[in-house]
Structure 1
Amino acid sequence: MPTTNYIDGEWTDAESGETLEVTNPAYPDEVVAEYAKGSAEDAEAAIEAAAAASEEWGATPGPERGAILNQTARLLEDRKDELTETLVREEGKTPAEAGPEVQRAIDIFYYYAQKASDHGGTVKAASGRSKNLYTRKEPLGVAGLITPWNYPIAIPAWKIAPALATGNAVVIKPASLAPGVAKGIVECLDEAGIPDGALNMVIGSGSDVGGVITDHDAVDAVSFTGSSAVGHHVYDAATDDQKRIQTEMGGKNPTVVSDTADVEEAVDIVASGAFGVTGQACTATSRAIVYDDVYDEFVDGVVAAAEDIEVGPGLDGYDMGPHVSESELESTLEYVDIGQDEGATLETGGEEVELDDADGYFVSPAVFSDVDPEMDIAQEEVFGPVLSVIRVENYEEAVEVANGVDYGLAASIVTDDHSEANRYVEDIEAGVVKLNEKTTGLELHVPFGGMKNSSSNTYREQGDDALEFFTTTKTVYDNY
């Protein structure tokens, strides 16, 4: 039987009766699960349920909301192994990558459980006697959440948890390619006692379900993570009727390797950021901008690192899993062809990997050298394990190249010069800046978001900034 959608506290079939199959990207003939395929009608029902529940949920005391989130974290913890395997089988990550992502979702619910108890306004000194002056933080109402397939439990968690913690009713559309772990979150919230209608989930296409979420009058806020092309459409649609909007989109993330860097350390940092999670991260390192004095040594090192990676099914102990789908694999292979046509040197990888025991969407990690900063492979998001290595003469040229793209999500530098590191923090155009670390990986209690074409530049996600996005402030003048 297919897994159903969750609307107004009930698991329900899709109105159309249609279903969709999710297959294992390592073994495409293996159907992992079948899900009800929601439509616009299902999305409307979910939004109406959320709207009806929003006032009561918003009036629920913060500690009571926090207790539900805390219990949800405990239930997720009990199911960690199961959810990790589901994530591997639906999305393709290795267990070493999927397990920490599930743990991150658990930690997020624990974190916002506490924040729900603490969240409130502030008291200020009034200018006159016999007066109180204070603020109240209140929920917006209904939050529509649209999440991607590449972090299919972490991103739903870091949207759902703060939205519920602050008293908003939620409608979430998880990605159809890997919805199983988002469904796990919903199951745990249901078991923890979330009131009917306060949380709703509809699995379906972006054009059907996502379109209703962004357009519906009853939705007060939309939080979207995905591609830049879709994100700009979501932004335009949501802001037409003045919804609060938050979009986090693509990246073309650089790591600068200084001539003061330990080259072996730099290779480890860049290889991990470029090839981890099969390069399918918006924060993945796609450009290594390397000073001339250490360029050749770095290229040799990162090529060796790429060639040491064993590609295959994650559950079978390989280092790097498949692309999530055939279309994602084809896109990566196309960019490898584009890079060679542009005149870059393909040092290694970029080939479809065929295994005797698995016919999945595998590709060997690719390293390009002799990359000009204006080439497409140095400008456009590839979303696969493809690294472009760019030679520069000095710091000034490195920063110019690093900033010379339309994106500004994450950036890092590997250097032993502390002054250079501090200059980089000031000069780089990115929402996340790391010193002697890979561009991937985030702490849950600090803001996350980008600049330029990577973000709507409205509100950040995670930490206290997420609470700000999902609330409005009311200022009270009390003359007693």
Structure 2
Amino acid sequence: MLKTDVKIYQNYINGVWLDSLSGETFESVNPADSNDTVAKFQASNKEDVEKAIDSASTAFATWVQTPISKRAAILTKAAAILEERADELALELTREEGKPLGASKKEVSRSADTLRFYAVEGQTLTGETFPNDDPKMKVSTVREPLGVISVITPWNFPISIPARKIAPALITGNTVVFKPSSETPLIALRLVEALDEAGLPPGVLNFVTGHSSYIGASIVRHPAIRGVTFTGSTGAGESIHRSVSLTTRTQMELGGKNPLIVMEDADLEKAAKLTVNGGFSLSGQACTGTSRVIVLSSVKEAFITELVNQVKNLKIGSGMESGAVIGPLANSKQLEKILQYIQIGQEEGADLVYGGKQLTISPYDSGYFVEPAVFTNVNPTMRIAQEEIFGPVVSVIEVQSYEEAISIANDTEYGLSASIVTNNNSYIERFVNDIQSGTVKVNRTTTGNLINAPFGGLKKSSTSTFRESGRAGLDFFTQTKTVYIGY
């Protein structure tokens, strides 16, 4: 497609699609083919954000009084719209973000399921009644929405993460200003379109695109913002958390350095498969992705042999290509970062036993492709074992005992997801208690979480205040009043 033919999309403010007041746009590019411009979007400025926040503030007074059954009906209808357009949306998601088409279809379906889940679960949210000694007094609590919520989301799950933030915000009576990643604004816009078509009143959901360096401060520090829910890097999350006012609540889901422990009794074929699925699916660009594999010395060599054999069979290619398991990295900055970490690992003395090269010949020459990398003989103090890489790089660390494995697994500033591969019930019970992680898995990948179960991290992987997903995902968006009524 010629760039002169590229469609320009607008912001969505107060129920109207509008150009930015800046008069400027930016491009979203296909990471599998950097010559393919997906679309252009508004490079918004502070005035655009303020207009969106004002719209959400005005709409709140009416939306909070809207019957919850009507709010639920809108979410349910939007879910149906997503499902009806799932094939089309999956193609757009893959073209814009790069993940395999099958994964894109699952993400669109999951987003519809999330809307439907909160349409039901949100209608059961109630307060409590407390016994007391005064027979002429009733003491209870009521749950109320916060007000205007800023939703800021990343590019790796560009429709499912927004859905799991926006749906609970809306069902509990809040209004929203939504800023998606500038890498994947199109699929985020499709979610907004679905909610608009489903009957969402003007001003309840506002959509503003642009780079965080220009509008990030405005969207979190405005005095009308009562809550900020953010998923992204730990550095950005810490900056947001520190910058908001005392009256602004934050929900931060941040980085990870997730371990998979392989015990001496593990099924090594399964352990390798879990490593491949957790570490290399989505090109390693998942906050819960497996980054460190901590292996008992007695099975280390056999495990590495099995792991490398499985990695060799992974097909690399465009997400549109049948059978492709490893797609491109999201952008040129990601590619540069991953290649730097691969070089750092080698300079630190780790052994690169497979992969790690940028693919530069056809059909990869116009995309951001790199081979999945496996490092062995990794010291747990190395940068590749401590810092979040967010790409297809796995470090294998050898240990002598369960106790050493747990010590190394916990020796990081992150605590998002962790798993162990074993059939020993004693190891399983100890692991659940010993590991410092918000998500704990046994004989499963570190990636993935249920829609109806809480999700979130410990330590610097989260603010550890309010969880996302499940019924717990409603808590962030509501505040509690305690009511005493005397008769």
The interval holding the TM-score normalised by the smaller chain is over 0.9
Moved over 6 A (4+): none
Residues 1:416 and 2:419 are matched in the alignment: no
Q: Which residue identity is paired with 2:278?
A: G
Of the three residues 242, 262, 265, the one matched with 1:260 is 265
Separation (CA, whole Å) in 2 of partners of 1:472 and 1:94: 40
Show the 5 A alignment for 1:96-115. Answer: 96-115=102-121
1:77 aligns with 2:87: no
Pairing 1:248–2:259 present: no
Q: Is the CA contact 1:311–1:353 (under 8 Å) kept in the aligned structure 2?
A: no
Cα distance in structure 2, aligned partners of 1:241 and 1:201:
25
The Cα shift of 1:51 comes to 0.5
Query: Which of 277, 283, 286 is the matching residue for 2:282?
Result: 277
Which residue of structure 2 aligns with residue 149 of structure 1? 155
Q: Distance in 1 between matches of 2:374 and 2:261?
A: 16
1:124 alignment counterpart: 130
- SS of equivalent residue, structure 1 residue 455: coil
Aligned length: 479
**Residues 289-298 or 129-138, more deviating:** 129-138
Aligned counterparts of 1:417 and 1:116: Cα–Cα separation in 2? 40
Q: Which residue of 2 aligns with 1:38?
A: 44
SS in 2 for 1:46: helix
In 2, Cα distance between the equivalents of 1:127 and 1:467? 32
How far apart, in 1, do the equivalents of 2:361 and 2:116 lie? 41
Within-5 A mapping of 1:396-415: 396-415=403-422
Match of 2:396 in 1: 389
SS of residue matched to 2:139: strand
Pair 1:3-2:9 in alignment: yes
The question of 1:431 aligning with 2:438 is answered yes
The answer to whether the aligner puts 1:472 opposite 2:476 as a matched pair is no
The question of 1:199 aligning with 2:171 is answered no
Letter in 2 for 1:444: I
Paired with 1:474 and 1:62, the residues of 2 have a C-alpha distance of 19
The answer to which of 405-414 and 95-104 deviates more is 95-104
1:328 aligns with 2:334: yes
Counterpart residue number, 1:183: 189
TM-score for both structures, normalised by structure 1: 0.98
Residue 226 of structure 1 and its aligned partner are, at CA, apart by: 0.5
Cα offset, 1:322, TM superposition: 0.1
Does the CA-based 8 Å contact 2:172-2:477 persist in structure 1?
A: yes
Q: Which runs of 5+ in 1 are unaligned?
A: none
Which structure 2 residues correspond to residues 270-309 of structure 1 after superposition, within 5 A?
270-309=275-314
Measure, in 1, the Cα distance between the counterparts of 2:470 and 2:139.
27
Q: Hey, what's the Cα distance between the residues in 1 that align with 2:433 and 2:230?
A: 28
Tell whether the 8 Å contact from 2:220 to 2:228 is kept in structure 1 after alignment.
yes
Correspondence for 2:319:
314
Report Cα offsets for 1:45-80 as digits up to 9, x if no partner: 000100111121112121111111111111111111
SS at match of 1:383: coil
Q: Is the 8 A contact 2:101 2:319 kept in 1?
A: yes
Matched to 2:78, the amino acid is: T
Question: Displacement of 1:213 after TM fit?
Answer: 1.3
Amino acid at match of 2:255: G
Residue identity matched to 1:420:
Y
2:235 partner amino acid: A
Tell whether 2:13 aligns with 1:17. Answer: no
Q: What secondary structure sits across from 2:184 in the alignment?
A: coil
2:471 corresponds to which letter in structure 1? Answer: D
Task: Give, as a single letter, the amino acid of the residue that structure 2 aligns with 1:455.
Answer: S
2: distance between equivalents of 1:81 and 1:355?
30
1:143 counterpart SS class:
strand
Superposed CA offset, 1:237-292 (max 9, x none): 12x33311111110000000000111111111111100000000000000000001
Equivalent residue runs for 1:226-241 within 5 Å: 226-238=232-244, 240-241=245-246
RMSD value over aligned CA atoms? 1.0
What displacement does 1:115 show?
Answer: 1.9
Question: Tell me, what secondary structure is at the counterpart of 2:286?
Answer: coil
Q: 1:466 deviation in Å?
A: 1.5
**In 1, Cα distance between equivalents of 2:281 and 2:265:** 25
Q: 2:141–2:480: 8 Å Cα contact kept in structure 1? A: yes
* Inter-partner Cα distance in structure 2 for 1:19 and 1:87: 20
The one-letter code matched in structure 2 to 1:376 is R
Matches within 5 A, 1:88-103: 88-103=94-109
Larger mean CA deviation between 295-304 and 111-120 belongs to 111-120
Cα distance in 1, alignment partners of residues 346 and 456 from structure 2: 32
Greater mean deviation of Cα atoms: 33-42 or 144-153: 33-42
Which amino acid in 1 is paired with 2:261? V
The separation in 2 between residues aligned to 1:418 and 1:181, in whole angstroms, is 44
For 1:360-399, list aligned pairs within 5 A: 360-399=367-406
DSSP-derived class of the 1:28 partner: coil
SS, match of residue 27 in structure 1: coil
Aligned to 1:454: 461
**TM-score normalised by structure 2 residue count:** 0.97
> Offset of 1:91 from its aligned partner?
0.6
- Aligned-pair identity (%): 46
Q: Could you list the per-position Cα deviations for residues 106-148 of structure 1 after superposition, in whole angstroms to 9, with x for gaps in the alignment?
A: 1100000112322222233343223322211100000001100
For residue 312 of structure 1, report the CA deviation from its aligned partner: 1.0
- The 8 Å contact of residues 449 and 461 in structure 1, kept in 2 or not, is answered as yes
- Tell me if structure 2 keeps the 8 A contact 1:65–1:116: no
- Residues of 1 paired with 2:208 and 2:425: CA distance? 49
> Does the aligned pair in 2 maintain the 1:312–1:355 contact within 8 Å?
no
Supply the distance in 2 between the matched residues of 1:117 and 1:411 (Cα, whole angstroms).
33
User: What amino acid sits opposite 1:122 in the alignment?
Assistant: E
Q: What is the match of residue 463 of structure 1? A: 470
The answer for the alignment partner of 1:133 in structure 2 is: 139
Q: Kindly state the Cα deviation for residue 82 of structure 1 after the two structures are TM-superposed.
A: 1.2
1:309-332 CA-partner distances (Å, limit 9, x unpaired)? 111111012221000101101110
Distance between the aligned counterparts of 2:237 and 2:162, measured in 1? 16
The range that moved more, 416-425 or 356-365, is 356-365
Tell me the equivalent position of 1:174. Answer: 180
Cα separation, 2, equivalents of 1:129 and 1:407: 50
Distance in 1 separating the partners of 2:121 and 2:127:
13
Contact 1:173 1:209 in 2 (8 A): no
Q: Residue 260 of structure 1 contacts residue 416 of structure 1 at CA under 8 Å; is this kept in 2?
A: yes
